[in-house]
Amino acid sequence: MGIVTVTVIAITCVCMWLLLSQINDTSNSENVRNRLDAIRTSLTVAAGAGGAIALWLTARKQRSTELQLREVARIAADTKRHQEYLASIAEKDSTERRITDLFTKAIEQLGSDKAAVRLGGFYSLERLANDNSDHRQTIVSTICGYLRMPFSPSIPFGKRINEEVRPESGDPERAYHQEELEVRLTAQRVLSSHFKTLAKLGIYWGSLDINLSNAILIDFEFIDCKVGFADFRHATFIGATHIRNTTFEQDAWFFESTFSDMANFNEATFTGRAIFTRTKFKSRLFMQEVTFTDL
């Protein structure tokens, strides 16, 4: 405001000097009136100039305020985005830690000597995979890894596995094998139920890869499923095997695998290579309406 005042005074003085300098004779009343009019005109010009300058300064201040507000808003928006980014990272880290903890506990359960605890481990892995699609392949690989571990069924191969067989009293080894059989059947069911594409049968985990090479598979059912790469090399299928209406989207390896009982591949689709080299079928084989697209 000091600058405005000085400017207005300067303009007033200049205007008055210019106007009054034209009127030197003040002896008559006409010249006096002219001098008064000159003073009024100078004051009017000064007032107008002062108003214009004040208006310009007000507009300039308003513009400066708007720029400051925009900058404050931009900084606030950047700060908010950064905070949201940090919050998302923290949430993701927290989620990953929780998943890791749950996965670790499930793995520990699978190593228990109690069948009920091992069963709980598979159910924990199933829930974890249902809720976290990014970890499904890891969980599938873990379940397959368990099924690849050595196992010798205590039930004679000639019996149907689904027949009720009670462990003999006083034979803890046979009892353990019977319990382990139930655990493995559960692991197989977890796998097959989530490779089925029909939503009503469970959450479809996607066309993931399975590695069941050297596995002992009991009454294996893989019906109406869709899978990526499938490795059954050197696997032993005990009991009836049903792989009906299943699509193998990548290579399917059955190299040197053994089917001790009936094997049903009806309506299966092999999109990639189907390798049955030296595969042993010790009973009936059904392969009606099977599709091979990579021969």
Per-residue pLDDT tens digits for 116-167: 999 999 999 999 999 999 999 999 999 999 999 999 876 554 444 444 445 5
- Kindly give the residue spans of alpha helices, DSSP state H, lying in the chain: 2-20, 29-110, 115-131, 136-147, 172-195
Say what the pLDDT of residue 157 is. Answer: 45
- Pinpoint the alpha helices (H) of 154-287: 172-195
**Among candidate residues 188, 105, 97, the one with its CA nearest the CA of residue 140:** 188
Prediction pTM value = 0.70
Q: Which span out of 38-42, 54-58, 61-65, 262-266 was modeled with the highest average pLDDT?
A: 262-266
Give 123 or 91, the one with higher predicted confidence: 123
The pLDDT, as a whole number, for residue 3 is 59
Q: Among residues 184, 165, 187, 163, which one has the least CA distance to residue 175? A: 165
* Contacts (Cβ under 8 Å, ≥6 apart) of 225: 192, 195, 196, 197, 246, 247
> 192 with 225: CB under 8 angstroms?
yes
Which of 192, 227, 225, 212 has its CA nearest to residue 257? 212
- Which run of H or E residues covers position 273? none
What radius of gyration do the chain's Cα atoms show?
A: 44
Taking the CA atoms of residue 218, residue 224, residue 227 and residue 230 in that order, the dihedral angle to the nearest 10 degrees is 40
Q: Is 62 exposed, middle or buried (0-12, 13-18, 19+ CB in 10 A)?
A: exposed
Q: Which helix (H) or strand (E) holds 132?
A: none
Query: Residue 155: CB partners within 8 Å, gap ≥ 6?
Result: 161, 165, 178, 181
Distances (CA, A) of 259 to 34, 199, 284, 285: 127, 30, 9, 9
